[in-house]
Amino acid sequence: MFARFIIGLSIIISALGLTLPSDQLTNRETLVEAAHNARMLVRDVNTGTMASVYPNTSDLAGRPFAMMEYHAPCYSNGSLTLILMPISRSTQNIFQDPGHHIAYTVNMPTEGIKSPMSRSRVALMGNVTTLRDISLEESEKLSKCYTKFHPDSKFWLPGNSDSPHFSLWARLDLDTIYYVGGFGNIHYIGSIPVDLYAKSQYKVQKDYKLKENDILQNVWENDLDLDLNQIVF
């Protein structure tokens, strides 16, 4: 009897959370909080969906193609480390797109969640650069970072002679970010400025108690004109 009461009460509370106006709930997620939460999401969840577009030479020209992929958050400015394989349809689409554009989405796990739509997700849009001529030192850093998040990837890392497929290091540099924190009455929904997303790394570093050398420094980090005094977390 008591168990049924608790279950019924939880359902009522859940329903209220979806219908009450925002001023009767906790403070709504701010843009700054959303940027930080998006960075945390991309660090905590290391698989996503890569969306590309079929090239003009294809019978499916202009149609979208999306597939699960791995990523690793190895750069302090928010760029993502990827491994591309020419055998992959996604990679073929990227190579044949003059701008090498993709959209990459990451979702909070929804297993056991009554309403998956209440979970956060983020779409990271930008262009992909293949890293063909990097130094051995940088390649080793990428390998160390990537395998930290994906231990199984050691079998197909770029340069591994035992890999079943040829692979390349690549980097996704962001130009557009769209975030859905959950339901809009208490969560932020909308675009996140790329520079704000980049700055949020410093709070992520603090939260995870990371050392500076645990994160690769992007060669273009200074181009973002980071001003840490502009935003206070």
For residue 116, tell me if it sits in a domain. yes
Q: Between residues 107 and 16, which one has the greater pLDDT?
A: 107
Query: Is residue 77, in this structure, part of any structural domain at all?
Result: yes
**What is the pLDDT, as a whole number, of residue 202?**
66
Q: Is residue 144 part of a domain?
A: yes
For 17-25, what is the mean pLDDT?
Answer: 41
Residue 131 domain boundaries: 26-213
In DSSP notation, 172-211 reads: EEEEEEEEE-SSTTTS-EEE--HHHHHHTHHHHHHHHT--
CATH no. for residue 114? 2.30.110.10
Contacts of 55 (CB under 8 A, 6+ apart): 61, 92, 93, 96, 97
> Percentage of residues in the chain with pLDDT exceeding 90?
64
- Say if 110 falls within a structural domain: yes
Phi, psi of 135, deg, nearest 5? -70, 160
Structure confidence by residue, pLDDT tens digits, 123-171: 999 999 999 989 999 999 999 999 999 999 999 999 888 888 999 999 9
Once rounded to an integer, what is the mean pLDDT over residues 209-213? 50
pTM: 0.76
Say if 225 falls within a structural domain: no
Flag whether 30 is in a domain.
Answer: yes
Can you read off the two tokens belonging to residue 31? 């843009």
53 assigned to some structural domain: yes
Return the bridge partners of 178, or none.
123, 191
5 in a structural domain: no
The residues, any chain, with a CB within 8 Å of residue 131's CB and separated by 6 or more, are 138, 142, 168, 169, 170, 171
Q: What is the mean pLDDT of the chain?
A: 81
- The number of folded domains in the chain is 1
173 has pLDDT over 80: yes
